[in-house]
Structure 1
Amino acid sequence: MSCCMNDDDPFPADECLFTDTFSQDSVYNLMGQELSIIQLFGANLGVAAPVWESAVQLCRYFEGHSVEWRGRRVIELGSGTGVVGIVAARLGADVTLTDLPMTLPQLEANVCANMPSSGWPSAPPTVLPLSWGEDHTKFPSDWDLVLGADIVYIPKLFPLLVDTLAHLCKQKGVVYLSSKMRKEHKTASFFKKHLPTRFNVQLVHRYDNLNINIYRASFRKAR
């Protein structure tokens, strides 16, 4: 760290304090896997930069339920740092990580940083841009699992997220969403009013001390 001071300045001019972007590397042990996760904090990534607790707890939930990942096709929405999807890929799933375009370099860096020493058991995770409700039809509809951690916080996007989930799950996919239940973001209304319009929704776990809920949803086909 470089630092310079001037007697006329009220604060030290530490250049690191004024950079637009800085990175932080953290180690997580999840589902028997050790991950080294790069988080690029700055104005461009915003909420996509950090590892949110909802992602960690979704991994804990899966670990407690002995989910079989090998051979399953998995897509993660709003991947951010890619923690959940990368763990699934290390355990043998065929994973696609998605987020807005500016987030993809962070995702790609984390995929590269977490390739197992013996190579990916299935295939390297695919990293693709996906804007809900806009280009979701470019993606197939035959996923086994659709995952999301702390992606429900912008009410105006709720209908677009439901449309995207419905397309991805048309054939067989099951959705798992882990969410901090923030009143100011009307998170509960998404799971009580919006998602049930197209899905059968079940609260499968709650972490009271963290105010995090995990929901399982299956697409309700029209009769």
Structure 2
Amino acid sequence: MSCCVNDDDPFPADECLFADTFSQDSVYNLMGQELRIIQVFGANLGVAAPVWESALQLCRYFEEQRVEWCGTRVIELGSGTGVVGIVAARLGADVTLTDLPVTLPQLKANVCANMPSSGWPSGPPTVLPLSWGEDHMKFPSDWDLVLGADIVYLPETYALLVDTLAHLCKNKAVVYLSSKMRKEHKTPSFFEEHLPRRFYVHLVHRDDNLNNNIYRASLRKD
């Protein structure tokens, strides 16, 4: 996979990840790009395996807003299949995809499967492990955009996620989080209580049918 991915991380692809699993390939047309996404279903990946509707919603929102990706530095948290970040990379962004180590082989496979025929405009996405609140200080703070799709569902991680976002946004990066608003997981409390403690938070899109919100956030300076 090294021909397709920046192999800067210490976690090599674990072929055992794909044992006792099944994979599904799906094609998505997002922001004018056709993506072939591999989803590996099994006990190892859990919620990181599928393409969640929140990721598709975020891509559609960016397309409606006609976001200019060329030359932007983007980091995606909890990338899972990598849909959002891969589209951004195909459109010219310098992208880093992050998730827990067990998810990295699926991410790398999807980066390889979606390399443009003419090559990556700003280089292939870098794939790195990132555990919120633990090793975020190893990452720089010079991003333009910090993205996340359906990563707000475990209340015990909310404070860690805010700490991570605050570090990544020190140099005025803008955060976009797309999330299904699950009351049983206290998702609304993250955006109404946890995140506003350190960020200015604005709801920029709401889909009532899917119960999905997209928020834009920027770090408070006070």
Aligned equivalents of 1:130, 1:157: Cα separation in 2: 13
Aligned length: 204
Partner of 2:141: 141
TM-score (norm 1): 0.91
Partner of 1:84: 84
For residues 36-77 of structure 1, the C-alpha deviation after alignment (integer angstroms, 9 at most, x for no partner) is: 000000000000000000000000000000000000000000
Residues 1:167 and 2:187 are matched in the alignment: no
For residues 131-155 of structure 1, the C-alpha deviation after alignment (integer angstroms, 9 at most, x for no partner) is: 0000000000010000000000000
TM-score (norm 2): 0.91
> How far 1:20 moved relative to its partner?
2.7
3-state SS, counterpart of residue 36 of structure 2: strand
Q: What amino acid sits opposite 1:98 in the alignment?
A: T
Identical columns (%): 85
Aligned equivalents of 1:162, 1:20: Cα separation in 2: 35
Partner of 1:50: 50
Partner of 1:63: 63
Tell me, which stretches of 5 or more residues in structure 1 are unaligned?
1-18
3-state SS, counterpart of residue 74 of structure 2: strand
Aligned equivalents of 1:221, 1:25: Cα separation in 2: 44
Q: Give the alignment of 1:103-182 within 5 angstroms.
A: 103-182=103-182
Partner of 1:96: 96
Partner of 1:198: 198
3-state SS, counterpart of residue 71 of structure 1: coil
Aligned equivalents of 2:58, 2:107: Cα separation in 1: 18
Aligned equivalents of 1:119, 1:139: Cα separation in 2: 26
Q: Give the alignment of 1:13-28 within 5 angstroms.
A: 20-28=20-28
> How far 1:221 moved relative to its partner?
1.6
Which of the two has higher C-alpha Rg? 1
Aligned equivalents of 1:141, 1:190: Cα separation in 2: 22
Aligned equivalents of 2:39, 2:131: Cα separation in 1: 21
Aligned equivalents of 2:77, 2:219: Cα separation in 1: 16
Partner of 1:189: 189
RMSD across aligned positions (CA): 0.7
Partner of 2:13: none
Displaced runs of 4+ in structure 1, greater than 4 A? none
Partner of 2:10: none
> How far 1:172 moved relative to its partner?
1.3
Tell me, which stretches of 5 or more residues in structure 2 are unaligned?
1-18
Q: Which has the higher contact order (CA 8 A, sep 6+)?
A: 2
